[in-house]
Chain A
């Protein structure tokens, strides 16, 4: 086989891996949207905030150090310890649950039964609040995550494919790991929502609030649960993206990539988020690969959106979204 074809395959596989990450971010959106009808614009910022918090805790940074120092004239920045990764992750998860509670308690509890656009505006506010809060707590310089995640190309994959096809595939070890983690997370979430008591309650709330109340489900609890899960998913996404490109503001912009993924897959479907993510991931890499020589670069920036627009015209509910037809 010609090298060109192998090269295309390699690009596609890399696209799949990027797609898994898109799917991961999109998943956070879908979870919250299904359960509460809120389109959570802040999902990307939550990922950024989670990653910043993780790094801050690991490095023993003093939260609000700048504020404390300028108020009291002190000069503290670090506690002087470092915390092992898994402990820091556990602490961060705890903090995300706390954040979920606070978001529910102080924002959305007061906005029950409001128009979707008002809920959406609230999440925009939340996004900027969290962005500022993150910078205030941990500073706004670019940080690196030292979780000991593998980096560089996987020699094993390159050698194996070399011996099979006579063409060595280049796959980043971090991408492979991220794919495995994301796939495991998605599987766990699906099993949880399909077969557990709380999963069933979650789907019930997503379907009909009034009926859910009547069978004894606390909406408040489910919403906190959903925001917590979304926070956890955001943390995973933040770690993976942060490990490859540093924890910085642009991390919150990956959320925008999730938008076309959702249009493609359907806002209310977990499988839709996954398949949508994969299609966009592979699609943009392959499109770039084939079209680059013809129209020049930078197609990756707009390809996903154009694809989503085409979908909006022909299948507005997305691939897996619920078509809104009601039996009368």
Chain B
């Protein structure tokens, strides 16, 4: 099975945890007409990582790097969930039963469906199991 098309490039940006950092990143992306489709912030001791799915990841990487940001790509997958009670459970159970660990996750709820973005320890396995369970994975072309 071609699992590659389901692997989505998330950009991860190192940021100090202080006022104005997110605004600066968002401004830079805005100037390049890059749209942010989903994002989250993870914070640790005085610093954090801004994670985002954008429509033009390469362009975003170039722009942010040129401004001096430390940027990296991370492979994630996106699963469509039923936007109703129990929707998250269905997906999480599949992964849990298969022994696949979710390192982190964030979600957005669109007009029709809810989407769960997952960073897991075994990407290909996760793709197969989720599809095997009948759930829908979004292809990367949906985002970029």
Q: Do A and B come from one complex?
A: no
Show the binding face of A for B, using Cβ within 8 Å. Answer: none
Show the binding face of B for A, using Cβ within 8 Å. Answer: none
